[in-house]
Amino acid sequence: MLIGCKGRTNDPRSWTSISNTLYNFERNLKAGKYKGKNVEDILLRSIESKLRMEWASEFFDFYNLPTISPEEVVKGIGKGYTQADLPRDISERFAYMAALITADETQLEACREFIRKYCDPEYLSIYDIYWAGNDERKMERISELQEMELSLHTANESKQYANEGLLAYAKIGQMYNSYLERDTKEVRGEDNERSSI
């Protein structure tokens, strides 16, 4: 334990205990065991018993950040969530990513696209790891989606590259035609001068 710090230490056992506490808390909350009680106070006190007070308060605030569910993500913007619901800072981005880990396989593509678009692409690799866990079938699904994205990315890049090449070629062609027209006019001018001599 650190000298001069209030509350508990922040060791791995504390975090494991908090994870178990949150799991049990949410299960009991759904079962209605906290009716008529101050649930925020119960949860905060429980967290404070496992972490230093200042960390417990920050963790409690993080835990209570608003997020959206995989079902809302699948419905899409305007139906499941609005622009105002999108994450605004790094803590919210991480909270959204963590909340979407509960997605099932039918919701996975929509959740991954949401994370890529609104939480930053860096979060996607973290999401993939945590979503798949140690489940081999889920790992294969993530691998399939990554390969699909890579082939689409490569195809889109190739198409864009080809279009840029065609535009550049057309521009070179126009410049060459201008050069030929100018050269032709100069030649005609020289011929006219010769014929007048």
* Residue at 5 is within a domain: no
* Residue at 64 is within a domain: yes
Number of separate domains in the chain? 2
* Residue at 84 is within a domain: yes
The pTM assigned to this predicted structure is 0.60
Residue 117 and residue 156 in one domain: no
Residue 169 and residue 193 in one domain: yes
Residue 103 and residue 24 in one domain: yes
Per residue, what are the HEC states of 7-63? CCCCCHHHHHHHHHHHHHHHHHHHCCCCCCCCHHHHHHHHHHCCCCHHHHHHHHHHH
Write out residues in the chain with pLDDT < 70, as ranges: 1-11, 152-158, 161-162, 165-166, 168-169, 173, 183-197
Residue 114 and residue 178 in one domain: no
pLDDT, one tens digit per residue, over 17-28 is: 888 888 888 888
Backbone angles phi, psi at 77, to 5 degrees: -70, 135
Residue pair 25/69 in contact by the 8 Å Cβ criterion: no
pLDDT, one tens digit per residue, over 91-110 is: 899 899 989 999 999 999 99
**pLDDT at site 2:** 44
Domain hosting 191: range is: 137-197
